[in-house]
Structure 1
Amino acid sequence: MATIVATDSGKWKAIIRKSGWPPTIKTFRLKRDAEDWARRTEDEMVRGIYIQRAPSERTSVASALDRYFKEVTPTKRPITQKTERQRIEIVKKFFGKYSLAAVTPDLVATYRDQRLAGDIDPKSGNRIPRAANTIRIELALLSNLYTVAIREWGMGLVYNPVKIIRKPTPAPHRHRRLTAAEEKRLFAELDAHSNPMLAWLARIALETGMRSSEITTLTRSQVDLRRRIVRLYDTKNSEPREVPLSDTAVEIFREALANPVRPIDTDLIFFGEPGRHGKRSSYTFHKVWDQAKRRAGIADYHFHDLRHECGSRLAEGGMDARKIAAILGHKDMNMAMVYVNLYGRDLVDEVNQALARRRARTFAA
């Protein structure tokens, strides 16, 4: 049986001591609430379904996210660690004041809808909508927090509230192509920049389909010009791969490796200035890239689109989806099929020839 005792502060404390279970204590403002809780808890213990909810009720989402950042985030890829700090602050701003136990599916759905509607721009007063993929990543962070809290931290949560709600529909694949005129203007601006690494980066992305993070973290030992390959170890899907180099890519890497201003304190091919701790990091190029695009008069074009442009050109050249997937590092073949399916019009002659051969065999029979 539970023991209900009055405290010096005028509240009521319910104490449950049951064989096979740790002592369970909870304080209430009203005696009736303490008695109701004690009966429910003892019933759950008898039925073998009791969960110790106190840790999740005492732990705020803000403190749980701080713990997550200290214990879980460092186990992820360096590029992910940089962006996750920002996402944690965004999620904490909305959920931070709630306890882990207080977050319900409808509260998560409210967050989803508000983020999709966008934040109010303080200058214009208009809402700036957020991309569906951005919201999906933020929800994935919150969901993983609950998974870790349930499985590893013993928070006594009954379920993960994020897994129940409907996620925003993923945005369709971008099909922004670079026209011949745009390519000429863009690379004219990139070549005119004082640092040749900017143009080298863009051309390598266009020739190899590598992601910007894969290119900027390359070291000299990863580039094998004799075998015409680049070895990637730290990839988005965590699977190493070898990227074949075209003739153009080989020449660009040869120039980059022979960079006369390369400092002796780094093995990075695309290096930046020393940071606060005296260690050089990768070349940060996004600001000058955006400036070059504006001068070239090119709108709605991302650096990542150079990777898609490479995949599209490989498909136009007749390469099959399996090989494109291997080069670009896609685990999902459907990602590579996007490039191939876009150029079904290039198969018109082959379709006509195949059907003509089929008809010829039918008539001959």
Structure 2
Amino acid sequence: MEADGELLALWQSAVMEDTAIRIRLPIPADGLPPTAGITVEPHRPEEVRATDRRDVLRLGVAAPTMAAALALAENASHALSAQPSEWTVAQLDEGTTAIAESYWSTPHDQLLATLLDCYQQAESIGRATRLPAAQARISGIAGQYAYYLARLGYHSGDRRLATAFGVVAEQYAAAAEDPLLSGAVAGLRSCSAFNASRYAEAARVAEAALRAPDVHEYTAPRLAAYLASAEAAAGRPPRARAALERMNELPLPATRLPGPGHFDPAERTLYHALTLAELDDPVAPHHAQNAIEIYPSEHVEGSALAWCALARGLSQDDPGQAANAAVHALTLSNTWPAATVVQRARRVHAQLTVDHRHAPEVIALGKKLDIPATIV
């Protein structure tokens, strides 16, 4: 009978030691202190007294469980009071603006590595603190890096990257209640729909974001430009021209902010050209030439899109020059490949092949796009 009591005591000690190890409590070199003795009825070995059951629960199980609960409370208290390193957060915050400035001049692979590293740092900081103010700030920063990753996926043609981080960025924007980030994500969604030839959807997304009561003044003119281009491609000229008027009425941002590119006079001129070219307006080539002349050379995608606008604008009256302009756009884009340029050049090629598929310039454009001759 005494052996039964000893086994219970050994079991009790083993439970305590195992629990202590799991919750990482220090264990003395000579082991845990002995537990209270367990008394077993000498004449009824199969039954433990009620008072002994309470002792087992109180001393054998409840003590380490309570220690675990206290450890959880301590960890939660640390998380709720932990302030992330201000220096690290400030560096990550500054990085969102630095990326905006260097985005167009950084090779895709370098950009991807930098963005992933910064995003992971922001994510780690966000998980380490539960302070509401700190979490709101780091959510906005992590959301910006998620947006840049989605944007890189969009420009590089990696739809998986664009979709995955686009969803994450949208969630961060909602969590941080950040209208700048929300507008950036909406603009990217509109562009993605446009590139997939879902023009009505592209217009709907841009218009909804533009009508939001908290739309940010930095993203508003860009959203209006996306709306105009999408409405024109969807074959709705009155809506497209109304969106162009809205774009012209909105003030241009004075300074660059994190997120979408700085919507400046060159970009406004570009979207005039792109929209009017979609509408087959005869003044479209003039606007495209203006955009080509004023676009900064380091902004490869914008310069190439200006040549695409010229190609689209010339497609009715001068198919040969239109094809040459599209080829030039693709050549420019070689230094910073952008799926947006390829998509617009493909649309020009598709239009030209309806009546001019045998023109040598059109054939050259098809080869530049790696389109087999049998398709055209």
What TM-score bracket applies, with the shorter chain setting the length?
under 0.3
Q: What is the TM-score when the length of structure 2 is the normalising length?
A: 0.27
Bigger Rg, structure 1 or 2: 2
Which of the pair is proportionally richer in helix? 2
